[in-house]
Structure 1
Amino acid sequence: MELFDNHKKLFTTAFLFFAGLTILVAIMPAISNQQNNAPLPDAKPLSEDAVKGKAIFVANGCVACHTQQVRNVDMDKMWGERPGMAADYADNHRTDIWRNTATLMGTERTGPDLTNIGSRQPSKDWNLVHLYNPRIVVKESIMPSYEWLFSIKETPAKTDVVVNVPEAYLNGATGKVVASKDALYLIAYLQSLKQTKLSDSSATPGFLYKRTVEKAPANGSPAGPDGKAIFTANCQSCHQANGEGLKGAFPPLKGSPVVLGDNLELYVDIVMNGYDARADYGVMPPVGTNMNFTEEEVAALINYERNSWGNNGQPVTSQEVKKIMDFVKLKASK
């Protein structure tokens, strides 16, 4: 055949065949996916700092240990309020003209899933301390420390972000630990990772293989939230399992005048809206608001903290907490 004898026709035909297949098999399906899977209405695009932080996340291989996908099984409930869907990844853009975008869904959970880490752990101070040396806040952590993203200065500048690292972890160095721009970019990316809420008109996908619901106690009283579980999931990473916090970083709850005091309004306000201790400790984020705590959950958390680590505080009821929560919300709206 002339086609096989003429190299120009042969290679032209092969190229056109390959180009046609590429359009049919790769390009057209990709365009269709982009059209059918638009970002969720309330999804927020990454800020400029978060985009830079994502590049640092990729460069340091963080995806090798951390996933960003909530599977539709009940055991993944701790990572997000709902299973992940295609729309969660629809707003990813190309890294540049030569490189495709990275969805960073991951395949292994050596560390926790990060889909909703911006809501689970929104504290900038905690994230910086954890990045400098994870064992400061989680003694059992096997995550490597990223000390090269920080420097130690005897006299930090006013614009420097100082990290409250306990002296025992400075390895004999003197001065203050200062976060680099790369560290701040990476934290900006982590804090941006928040699962977008679905609109009221959208049906929320359910989790499969649900665990059995705990039965009420034999005395007939209804089963309430587990204060210890709430503390472990939301507070322990900063205040530690022993309630002693970290000197210079996070305040202790053991023997705390706020925990044991009579000012319940202040206590509930801190749980729901956070607290800025200024120079003494890092800023506490609004944990209760971020996690949509109910009055029952807040009461259970307070009662656990007031009766742990040697504390002996007065118990509170959900009714007392509800009145204060309503008042706090009303005060915040004015």
Structure 2
Amino acid sequence: MEYFNDHRRLYLTALALFVTLTLLVVIIPAISNQTNNGLLPGYELPSDEVVAGKALYIANGCVACHTQQVRDVAMDEVWAERPGMAADYAGNHRQDFWRNTATLMGTERTGPDLTTIGTRQPSRDWHLLHLYQPRAVVKESIMPAHPWLFEEKESLDLKDVEVTVPDEFKAHKNMKVVAKREALQLIAYLQSLKQIKIYNPSAVAKFLYKDEAKQGKEAGAAKNPGAKGQALYAQHCQSCHQSNGEGLKGAFPPLKGSPIVNDDNPELQITIIMRGYDAKPEYGVMPAVGTNANLNAEQISAIVNHERSSWGNKGRAIPPAEVQKIMDMIKNGK
């Protein structure tokens, strides 16, 4: 009882336990983690715009609904090619002296994981429209719109970045929607979120607990070119061109009835997929989807054949060998 009656001894004991536990649970593991994990080869230092965009990501509460962590369970395989590792976060630093918001791993997925959003969706025009009005590109989205990151103008200045917004989503149809610098910074941060490729297979963890029934379906899809093309289209193209192939008027062009898609010569269609497209001012700039996602000839063939045989299109089927020849021509600059 004498021990508990001496408040000095009691408080000093509690302090000693606190310091010891802090060392064992926090400080020593952190030092060990920093010692054993460095920057991955290929890591790029963030630009000032990306750093500012990260601060806006935090300030606008994006971290509450989006994670940036790919676990080693099979259900996370949709977000990236491999599970995350400690070295993925080695380049993150404190926001400032008072705030330690370096790693934005998140806690729930009300929205999709963003670990590789810069690879999955590299289009700045798509991100601008999605930020201005999410339901313009994803009808089922519950994400709030961010109109305070944009302004309306009657005419554009030289440096203005106009957002291609369908009239039905504009507050005033005769006005032009312009992205503020904050919107561009936030999108620069999102575009920077990419997973560095690991070339040593033994260093990459495997996705665990795969569903055998799902694996059977995937195997069936691999044998069915139509199903494979539909899945690849949904993954790489659908967010802009929509599931019905009609695109978004005033934002993204339709593939339904497109003369490019129905042309017997697929060279232009495949070139657009591999190099991107910026030919019409009324539409957003299409990124080089095929190159960014490192798609091979078989995958490109599946996508173009899905587009050529869907929504009433009547284009001829393009075999992988023909796609490969065109890809080689593109690579050689012809």
Q: Tell me, yes or no, whether TM beats 0.5.
A: yes
SS of corresponding position for 2:52: helix
- Asked whether the 8 Å contact 1:215–1:223 carries over to 2, the reply is no
Asked whether the equivalents of residues 134 and 141 of structure 2 are also in contact (C-alpha less than 8 Å), the reply is: yes
Mapped partners of 1:232, 1:191: distance in 2: 20
Distance 1:295 1:5 in 2: 78
Post-superposition CA distance 1:100-130 (Å, at most 9, x none): 1331111211111100000000000000000
1:70 Cα deviation (Å)? 1.0
Distance 1:216 1:128 in 2: 37
> Residues 310 and 28 from structure 1, CA distance in 2 versus in 1: closer, same or farther, beyond 3 angstroms?
same
Q: Percent identity?
A: 59
Q: CA deviation at 1:271?
A: 1.1
**CA separation in 2, counterparts of 1:63 and 1:69?**
12
Cα distance, 1:71–1:19 mapped onto 2, change above 3 Å: closer
C-alpha displacement of 1:263: 3.0
Does residue 109 of structure 1 match 2:109?
Answer: yes
CA drift at 1:222: 4.8
Aligned to 2:178: 178
Deviations 1:160-206 (A, max 9, x none): 11101111111335311000111001000000000111134653221
Give the counterpart letter for 1:135 in structure 2.
R
Cα pair 2:67 2:109 within 8 Å, conserved:
yes
Given the alignment, which residue of 209, 212, 215 partners 1:212? 215
What do you get for the CA RMSD once the two structures are aligned?
2.6
**CA deviation after TM superposition for structure 1 residue 317, in Å:** 0.9
Are the equivalent residues in 2 in contact too, given 1:80–1:195 (CA < 8 A)?
yes
Give the match for residue 270 of structure 1: 272
Q: Distance between the aligned counterparts of 1:202 and 1:46, measured in 2?
A: 28
Deviation at 1:98, TM superposition (A): 1.2
Does the 8 Å CA contact 1:89/1:103 hold for their aligned counterparts? Answer: yes
Q: Secondary structure at the match of 1:178?
A: strand
Aligned to 1:51: 51
Structure 1 gap ranges (5+): none
Task: Output the amino acid matched with 1:238.
Answer: C
Within 5 A, what are the aligned runs for 1:146-165? 146-165=146-165
Counterpart pick for 2:259 among 237, 257, 260: 257
The answer to whether the aligner puts 1:64 opposite 2:64 as a matched pair is yes
Match of 2:240 in 1: 238
Q: Where does residue 100 of structure 2 map in the other structure?
A: 100
- Say which is worse superposed, 258-267 or 145-154, in terms of deviation: 258-267
Structure 1 Cα separation of the partners of residues 238 and 297 of structure 2 = 20
Q: Structure 1 pair 5/127, CA: closer, same or farther in 2 (3 Å)? A: closer
Aligned-residue offset at 1:16 = 7.8
Instruction: Give, in whole Å, the separation in 2 of the partners of 1:113 and 1:330.
Output: 36
Aligned match of 1:284:
286
For the pair 1:127 / 2:130, whether they are aligned, the reply is no
1:194 aligns with 2:194: yes
Q: Distance in 2 between matches of 1:216 and 1:161?
A: 44
Q: Which moved more, 1:301-310 or 1:125-134?
A: 301-310
The answer to whether the 8 Å contact 1:214/1:223 transfers is: no
Q: 1:15 to 1:187 in 2, by over 3 A?
A: same
Tell me the alpha carbon deviations over residues 243-285 of structure 1, each in whole angstroms, 9 at most, x when there is no partner. Answer: 1111221111011111011331111111112111251311111
Q: Which amino acid aligns with 1:316?
A: I
TM-score (norm 1): 0.89
Classify 1:280/1:23 alpha carbon distance in 2 versus 1 (closer, same or farther; 3 Å): same
What is the deviation of 1:209? 2.3
Per-residue deviation, 1:27: 3.0
Structure 2 residue ranges without an equivalent (≥5): none
CA–CA separation in structure 2 for the residues paired with 1:70 and 1:25: 24
2:164 touches 2:282 (CA, 8 Å); kept in 1? no
Q: Secondary structure at the match of 1:237?
A: helix
Q: Is the 8 A contact 2:94 2:101 kept in 1?
A: yes
| AA matched with 1:290 | N
The structural deviation recorded for 1:83 is 0.6
Matching residue of 1:301: 303
1:30 partnered with 2:33: no
Q: Secondary structure at the match of 1:97?
A: coil
CA displacement at 1:85 relative to structure 2: 0.9
Worse-matched range after superposition: 205-214 or 151-160:
205-214
What residue number does 1:320 align with?
Answer: 322
Secondary structure of 1:56's counterpart equals helix
Give 1:36's aligned amino acid.
N
Cα distance in 2 between the residues matched to 1:216 and 1:27: 47
Go from structure 1 to structure 2 and tell me whether the alpha carbon gap of 1:275 and 1:24 turns closer, same or farther (over 3 Å shift).
same
Instruction: Write the letter of the residue equivalent to 2:243.
Output: A
